[in-house]
Amino acid sequence: MSEAAGTIFPNANFTSDDEEAPVTEHLFEESGPHRIQNTPDGLTHMTVSLPEDEHGMIGRECGAAECSPGLFKVKPGTGIVTEPHDVAFCPYCRHPDHPTAFATADQVRYAQDIAIQEAARGVNRMISRTLGLGPNGKKKIGGGMFSVEFSLKSRVPTSVARPLEEELRRDIVCDGCGLAQAVFGLASWSHDCGRDVFLQHVHEELVVIRKALADVDDRRQERGARVAARDIENALEDLVSIFEAAMKHMTREHLRRAGRTPDEVSAVMATIRNAYQNVASATTAFRAHVQGDLMRETAPSDEESLRETFEKRHPITHNLGVIDRQYLRRAQTGELEGREIRITVQEVVAAVDVAEGVLQRAYAQACPTSIP
């Protein structure tokens, strides 16, 4: 469980009319699992613990209206655990705020439901005291032929629905503060310390591809050659997708840091379209919009190998792996039209290595400073 921010609620008091022994009672009973405290100014402070997911994480949400996707998760007990910790950051847009301000809308609902549950208990307690009901919630007046019985039927909610949280796919531990966080897509910042962790995200994505490729031989023995071939093809598609996503991310960030408005950034990205899926067009787009050299310090042989491997994605994705004229025109190889494309584990592994180096050097050019 992780503690949510202390939640403040208006308090209500009950004062008996017994002149000999007047009793003042608060709607919210102090202490208990939520550490309830009633203040002299008529407010109640309550601490609600948030349930963690199966991985020990809780959801967080950026409060900046323009931030997308905004949702992420962190693991309590990691990152900055010393006090005071007064500012945290959105992993996507680096919006700064107090750590407790990143509660999700459903977590706020959860805390409110807990408060309603406690308030209902308080109302029942006050009514019982007013009517003088016994432990069984009943009171009988009179006897003989005429009697009246009062009873209280409890309306206290018996359970509170846990906050709903999206299933996230990308986990990372910040090299700076040690925070374990999970995000949608690629993010640039550590939530706790604000450190630039973009290249860590890229590396972790590529680690997944490397692990998948390491299992190809076992999959071939268990499932056959065609399944193994599909695993290699899927790994190549994932590599190109990660490369494209990373290049678009750093281009957006470069434009944002350069002072371009959100509308201007969107207009530029619309012109790029799928240019970052191809080495030649990616080099041109990077030069045009970042004023950088995408293949800086990349050996010509590695650049050519990366280009050839990336070109094989087209027939795999769009033509069931069958070589067509468009591929032959772009790849300029001696392969024959109508045959299936051949891609090996070694080719994709080599492409992963080259691509990671290209992305690291490109990011150093696009976003040379870690804090905008």
What is 313-340 written as a DSSP string?
Answer: HHHHHHSTTB--HHHHHHH--SPPTTSB
Q: Alpha-carbon Rg of the chain, whole angstroms?
A: 30
Question: Which class for 273: exposed (0-12), middle (13-18), buried (19 or more C-beta within 10 A)?
Answer: exposed
pLDDT, averaged across the chain: 81
Is pLDDT above 90 for 44? no
Distance CA 305, CA 303 (A): 5
Kindly report the pTM of this predicted structure.
0.73
156-173 pLDDT per residue, tens: 555 566 666 666 568 899
55-99 pLDDT per residue, tens: 899 999 999 988 888 999 999 999 998 888 999 999 999 999 999
Quote the pLDDT of residue 39.
79
